């Protein structure tokens, strides 16, 4: 069992130099306790295997120490990553490796790989992903968000409805300030699905407040099925929409995806669905219909 802080001997370096073999034996017996005190849980758990491997590879003491420390660092990094992924609240796991670029020729793979380096996040730039339903906007948001987490940035994923619902509630309950500052904290805020559902009348003003607060501080990744020219309809106010776009687009990258829904493409492949005569009815951006708020597909 792990010893408490008081029970664990803590010899000075002078004391260690004078240590008898029996003292060393006592230290070895307390190794688990010391590793606990130092919060080196991975070393404690893997110690036998690590020492055996170090001996098998005939590492010298310095090499063995580095080998053992590396195991702890890897484990702590893994823990940090999985906690940060949980905090980010991604709706599902999607990766860039899992994205079929051939299925969406309107996307430049080089541009996405460049975005995956997260330099734009480091610079506090924004990214706007536009395209009709099913073309991979949320997939790319999650994949790029995971890249940002892996690089040590704080990330939060939310939907436009959830975000604006929370801000409207904050305004009603007198907690707007707290909510605005909560959404201003992450280095990257991902706002999915702007434009799918009609917003409350005050939503545009609240969204503007958030975007102003994050302006040149942290990045926003926002996706929408509506082209930016239609955002005055989305926010129900031309002036507010222009002010939002002014800040959002100042330092920004825009990726516009044109093409068919990946979901329907898969169904079509399986013979479950036939495209309507004259092509896809989901052309949306880059195609003809639909400017009206579409139901989430
Ligand atoms: P959107 O957000 O644009 O409506 P999604 O990202 O939700 O679309 O994509 C719908 C589904 O299809 C998701 O499961 C997503 O992982 C998948 N998908 C979309 N595009 C691709 C693609 N090019 N390669 C692989 N999977 C894709
Ligand atoms: Mg989506």
pLDDT in tens, 150-189: 999 999 999 999 999 999 999 999 999 999 999 999 999 9
Question: What is the atom index within ligand 1 of the atom nearest the CA of 103?
Answer: 23
Q: pLDDT tens-digit profile of 77-87?
A: 999 999 999 99
Judge contact between 100 and 225, C-beta under 8 A. Answer: no
Q: What is the DSSP string of 61-106?
A: HHHHHHHHHHHHHHHHHHHHHHHHHHHHT-SS---STT--GGG-TT
Question: What is the atom index within ligand 1 of the atom nearest the CA of 98?
Answer: 25
Q: pLDDT tens-digit profile of 266-294?
A: 777 777 655 554 444 334 343 333 333 33
pTM for the full model? 0.81
How far is 176 from 181, CA to CA, in rounded Å? 9
Protein residues whose CB sits closer than 6 Å to any atom of ligand 1: 94, 98-100, 103-104, 131, 133-139, 262-263
Confidence tier at 263 by pLDDT (50, 70, 90):
confident
Judge contact between 242 and 278, C-beta under 8 A. Answer: no
- pLDDT attached to residue 266: 76
Find the range with the poorest average confidence among 7-11, 208-212, 225-229: 7-11
Judge contact between 21 and 51, C-beta under 8 A. Answer: no
Find the range with the poorest average confidence among 13-17, 91-95, 174-178: 13-17
Find the range with the poorest average confidence among 17-26, 132-141, 210-219, 249-258: 17-26
- pLDDT attached to residue 265: 77
Write down the number of H helices and E strands in the chain: 14, 5
How far is 184 from 167, CA to CA, in rounded Å? 12
């Amino acid at each position: 069992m792990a010893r408490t802080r008081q029970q664990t001997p803590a010899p000075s370096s002078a004391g260690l130099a004078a240590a008898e073999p029996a003292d060393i034996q006592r230290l070895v017996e307390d190794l688990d306790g010391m590793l606990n005190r130092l919060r080196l849980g991975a070393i404690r758990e893997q110690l036998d295997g690590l020492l055996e491997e170090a001996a098998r590879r005939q590492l010298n003491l310095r090499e063995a120490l580095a080998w053992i420390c590396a195991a702890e660092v890897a484990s702590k990094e893994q823990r940090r990553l999985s906690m940060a992924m949980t905090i980010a609240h991604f709706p599902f796991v999607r990766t860039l490796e899992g994205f079929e670029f051939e299925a969406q020729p309107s996307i430049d793979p080089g541009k996405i790989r460049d975005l995956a380096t997260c330099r734009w996040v480091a610079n506090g730039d924004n990214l706007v992903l536009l395209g009709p339903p099913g073309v991979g906007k949320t997939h790319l948001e999650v994949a790029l968000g995971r890249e940002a987490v892996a690089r040590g940035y704080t990330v939060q994923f939310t939907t436009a409805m959830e975000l604006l619902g929370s801000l409207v509630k904050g305004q009603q309950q007198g907690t707007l300030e707290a909510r605005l500052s909560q959404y201003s904290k992450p280095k990257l805020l991902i706002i999915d699905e702007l434009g799918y559902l009609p917003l409350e009348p005050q939503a545009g003003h609240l969204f503007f407040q958030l975007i102003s607060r994050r302006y040149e501080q942290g990045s926003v990744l926002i996706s929408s099925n509506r082209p930016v020219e239609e955002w005055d309809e989305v926010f129900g106010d031309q002036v507010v929409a222009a002010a939002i776009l002014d800040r959002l687009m100042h330092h920004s990258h825009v990726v516009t995806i044109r093409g068919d829904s990946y979901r329907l493409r898969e169904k079509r492949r399986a013979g479950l669905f036939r495209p309507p005569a004259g092509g896809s009815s989901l052309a949306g951006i880059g195609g003809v219909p639909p400017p009206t708020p579409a139901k989430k597909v």
